[in-house]
Structure 1
Amino acid sequence: MSTLQTTASEPTTESGLVEFGHIIDGREVQSASGDVFTSIDPYTREPWAVFPLGGSAEADLAVAAARRAFDEGPWPRMSATERRTLLHRFADLIELHGEELAMADTRDMGKPITQSLSNDVSRTALNFRFFADHAHGSSAEVLPMGTPHHAYTRFDPAGVVVAIAPWNFPMMLESWKVAPALAWGNTVVLKPAEDSPASATIMARLALEAGIPPGVFNVVHGYGADSVGEALTANADVDRITFTGESSTGKVIARAAASNLIPVSLELGGKGANVVFADADLDNAIAWSIKAIYTNAGQVCLAGSRIYVERPIYDEFLRRFVEAAESMRLGDPKDPATQIGPMASDVHYEKVRGYVETIPESGGEQITGGLDEGWFVRPTVIREPAADSPHQREEIFGPVVTVTPFDTEPEAVALVNDSPYGLNAMVFTEDLSKAHRVSAAVVVGTVWVNCFFVRDLRAPFGGAKQSGVGREGGNFSREFFTEPKAVIMQIERSNTH
């Protein structure tokens, strides 16, 4: 099993920073300009690694490499069985190097190491295994037309995929994009977030070690606007763009892709609602509600940041929820006992701090939490803010939750839907009919009933309204990462046409 020492043995600068490069056409390279940027450890608030700062030159090189690998190379011409074998070998290496990958994400963005190890590494490997198996086992349609014609469908790889990933679940969300694209025979250029770039380079190294051909999986580092990200989305040789991140950035990417008619899949922001009915199992509801907002210090697009509790149990729920929140341990994310790490960056800490400091203006009451030393924010609870306050309507993306009472089922549904976002919701009730009614009525992409964050990778994933465009997962990923093609054949000759 790889350990932290594996990362420490990487090439380092004179100042002791670990050095990483782009992975382009099977080689690890620096930027032609020589420009670099550093990744800051959010706990120490000091640089720990250095990366090449890419621009349009690196974007064009990576896309050209992916284009050649797609147009001329073996990857899209392999059978699904052959690709499956290599992707499973890749997943094996991810698990073997799990500690190295987990520590890279923890040092990049402050995620507690127990979460990086127990959840993110396993899900990253699972994503590659699942989509390799899914592509291998998928069937196409046969459409009987009767003599003399026969029709069927093909799902051919789309081509060059640009994947732009966020900083909150680096390797896991990178794999969610890269795995189905590769499984269906595409080639990929991945741009990880500049705040969490290390695990992407490590994964690309492991892909080459697994035998995935050069140019099939490329990684370029840099920023978005006026940098490598913008150059990638404007490149006319790209066939698909998949992006996870802020809604405002998604709109910019959609406009860039539209100029070249490139299909996009956008998983954007959220303001997840969590509805707790009076008949809920309160122990279960509180445990999941804590996880839903405070996992990864609230830096989760799916976070249950709006809790609505039926009035008969409101006071008891709030009391017990606050007790659970106050018991969570803040600290060094490299310590396995830590439950809450720091905000991922100085910029993000300042954003969340702004929301915390303006809680009195929301009309609500802060009953626990607040700012701590460094880039830490303690688990924060706001009681009954105004419905139109920024704390109730905007994506804070931190460990800050609002708790509001409601009286009726229709009122609860209306509160959930009173949001520009529609990514997900949770419903806690022991009434099966109510669970079905509310799940049908809320306008979101995913509903969890009496749980949170449980996934079936065959199911559609994505959001409604400002939370995104399109769905991925299972056959939904197949539809996006392929060009479905109809083939109609004449199987019996006729003198008439």
Structure 2
Amino acid sequence: MQQLQNYINGALVAPQSNQYIDNYEPATGKVYSLIPDSGEEDVNAAVAAAEAAFPSWSMTPIGERSKILMRIAALIEENLERLALAESIDNGKPVWLAKMVDIPRAASNFHFYATAIHHYATGAHAMTNQAINYTLRDAIGVVGCISPWNLPLYLFSWKIAPALAAGNCVVAKPSEVTPMTAYLLSELCIEAGLPKGVLNIVHGLGHSAGNAIVAHDNVKAISFTGGTQTGAHIAKIAAPKFKKLSLELGGKNPNIIFADCDYDKMLTTTMRSSFANQGQICLCGSRIFVERPIYERFKRDFVARVKQLNVGDPNKKDSKMGAVVSKAHQEKVLSYIQLAKEEGGVVLAGGEALEIEGRCKGGYFIAPTVIEGLEYNCRTNQEEIFGPVVTIMPFDTEEEVLKYANSVQYGLASTLWTTNVSRATKMAQQIHAGIVWVNCWLLRDLRTPFGGVKASGVGREGGFHALDFFTEPKNVCIEY
């Protein structure tokens, strides 16, 4: 059985404890590899390597840093099949989805920041006949990047690429649930010639390896994507140490559908925005609000399509949905379906675990689930489930649906369907969310900022905003 290794100071090394954690394939429920159970000693070694590498890397010309990141991007593209299969085995998603979305976007992240750093500009302000002020953007030093399990390589690279492009050295931890693509990235970085110590990847549990990264005095900034509760814990540790923080946290996103929408496009996209990656995307629309004149039509058509979704072996091309990420997560999602029933909800489709025959017998599968009849402020409609479960309910007025949409503690993303431009602009302004998609979903431009409001996090990622986060501004004033 394969034992994964940490990537520290340019080499693949065993954890200092020599202890490993079982890594399960969600589709089969079986252990298929072992990952390092790293702790404070491993993190200390990684930080020391990053500190040693920082003076040289931060002063490496932008063109040279860019070339190395471009080589990493090219290697990701060349290893598409291998990485997609690894992500599917780790995460449970269909292989075709990883090939189409996750791995290409990881390559795009490295490519974007490899080129963006060439065009990263700072401002200058002249004080007439007296002085000139200009701003420098310096690399911070050693930064910590901690990523989640739902989009393992995509979100891992989204943090690492801008940090490296800006001249920082990184100590990164992937989720212990989905470590394989991060391990393979280690191999690709060695092949690309990334100098030793510039990127260090430490595998392990959040309460040990993750905590050690966040608490380390010489890690100057933390970029974290994951659950809101974990984000709050990280903030408590980091705030007294005055670390820079970027926290991209949970979501309970509304999908608001008006009767004047492009119905066919809306229905097709809503299927995707509800159940892509088994609903395990922080941007999925898990609360669907439909204007009353088309509610019954929508319910009939949507439920019919959901019942036709093929849930099966992630290796098969006709599987539209795979397994959820773990047994514990399967149990969590199923517990929320039971809660919905107790709160008066009616299950219109799904609502149960699925037993897949053959290779995947014993895997963690859940039927895509649609529930109606719930109050907008019940627990099922307020708490993040993060699985293939959506609720649907009708509304009559804009004021009413805004109350529903904004009632949760989260504010990450939202989707709005209407052909009325005036309504779209007005509603977009009033929805409490960092992202509002109008007549589309998951249409991302890496040049734009990404992040949420309220309990969905602080800070912004994406575009030059990520480079802003991974640098410190320094004002220089020269008097004439």
TM-score range for the pair, normalised by the shorter chain length:
over 0.9
Q: What is aligned with 2:367?
A: 378
CA drift at 1:249: 0.2
Q: Does 1:345 align with 2:326?
A: yes
Return the alpha-carbon distance in structure 2 between the equivalents of residues 279 and 430 of structure 1: 6
TM-score by length of 1: 0.93
3-state SS in 1 of match to 2:425: helix
Identical amino acids, percent of aligned pairs: 43
CA drift at 1:359: 2.5
Return the alpha-carbon distance in structure 2 between the equivalents of residues 63 and 454 of structure 1: 36
Return the alpha-carbon distance in structure 1 between the equivalents of residues 305 and 73 of structure 2: 36
CA drift at 1:68: 1.1
CA drift at 1:474: 1.5
Which amino acid counterpart does residue 273 of structure 1 have in structure 2? P
Q: In structure 2, which of residues 223, 236, 246 is the aligned counterpart of residue 265 of structure 1?
A: 246
Contact kept in structure 2, 1:272 and 1:422, CA below 8 Å: yes
Q: Does 1:433 align with 2:422?
A: yes
Deviations 1:40-85 (A, max 9, x none): 00111111111111011001111111111113xx221112221111
Return the alpha-carbon distance in structure 2 between the equivalents of residues 172 and 377 of structure 1: 24
Q: In structure 2, which of residues 463, 471, 474 is the aligned counterpart of residue 474 of structure 1?
A: 463
Q: What is aligned with 1:236?
A: 217
Return the alpha-carbon distance in structure 2 between the equivalents of residues 485 and 384 of structure 1: 55
Which amino acid counterpart does residue 347 of structure 1 have in structure 2? A
Q: What is aligned with 1:77?
A: 59
CA drift at 1:421: 0.4
Q: In structure 2, which of residues 188, 196, 220 is the aligned counterpart of residue 206 of structure 1?
A: 188
Contact kept in structure 2, 1:384 and 1:405, CA below 8 Å: no
Q: What is aligned with 1:5?
A: none
Return the alpha-carbon distance in structure 2 between the equivalents of residues 20 and 298 of structure 1: 28
CA drift at 1:349: 0.7
Q: What is aligned with 2:340?
A: 359
Return the alpha-carbon distance in structure 1 between the equivalents of residues 267 and 118 of structure 2: 41
Return the alpha-carbon distance in structure 1 between the equivalents of residues 434 and 141 of structure 2: 27
Deviations 1:157-205 (A, max 9, x none): 1111100100000000001100110111111111000000011111122
Quick check: 318-327 or 399-408, which moved more? 318-327
Return the alpha-carbon distance in structure 1 between the equivalents of residues 323 and 186 of structure 2: 27
TM-score by length of 2: 0.97
3-state SS in 2 of match to 1:31: coil
CA drift at 1:387: 2.0
Return the alpha-carbon distance in structure 1 between the equivalents of residues 206 and 445 of structure 2: 31
Contact kept in structure 1, 2:80 and 2:99, CA below 8 Å: yes
Q: Can you give the 5+ residue segments of structure 1 that lack an aligned partner in the other structure? A: 1-16, 493-497
1:9-20 equivalences in 2 (<5 Å): 17-20=1-4
Deviations 1:110-129 (A, max 9, x none): 01111111101110000111
Q: Does 1:64 align with 2:32?
A: no
Which amino acid counterpart does residue 69 of structure 1 have in structure 2? A
Return the alpha-carbon distance in structure 2 between the equivalents of residues 390 and 296 of structure 1: 23
Return the alpha-carbon distance in structure 2 between the equivalents of residues 429 and 315 of structure 1: 18
Q: Does 1:127 align with 2:116?
A: no
Q: What is aligned with 1:183?
A: 165
1:94-243 equivalences in 2 (<5 Å): 94-225=76-207, 227-243=208-224
Contact kept in structure 1, 2:35 and 2:176, CA below 8 Å: no
CA drift at 1:384: 2.6
CA drift at 1:108: 0.8
3-state SS in 1 of match to 2:206: coil
Q: What is aligned with 1:13?
A: none
Return the alpha-carbon distance in structure 1 between the equivalents of residues 45 and 240 of structure 2: 21
3-state SS in 2 of match to 1:166: coil
Deviations 1:324-379 (A, max 9, x none): 11111111112222111111001101101111223221222111112212421111
3-state SS in 2 of match to 1:122: helix
Q: In structure 2, which of residues 271, 281, 301 is the aligned counterpart of residue 300 of structure 1?
A: 281
Q: What is aligned with 2:438?
A: 449
Q: What is aligned with 2:5?
A: 21
Return the alpha-carbon distance in structure 2 between the equivalents of residues 33 and 316 of structure 1: 59
Which amino acid counterpart does residue 31 of structure 1 have in structure 2? P
Q: What is aligned with 2:26?
A: 42
Q: What is aligned with 2:229?
A: 248
Return the alpha-carbon distance in structure 1 between the equivalents of residues 411 and 160 of structure 2: 25
The alignment's C-alpha RMSD in Å is: 1.0
CA drift at 1:101: 1.2
Return the alpha-carbon distance in structure 2 between the equivalents of residues 240 and 205 of structure 1: 25
Contact kept in structure 2, 1:247 and 1:269, CA below 8 Å: yes
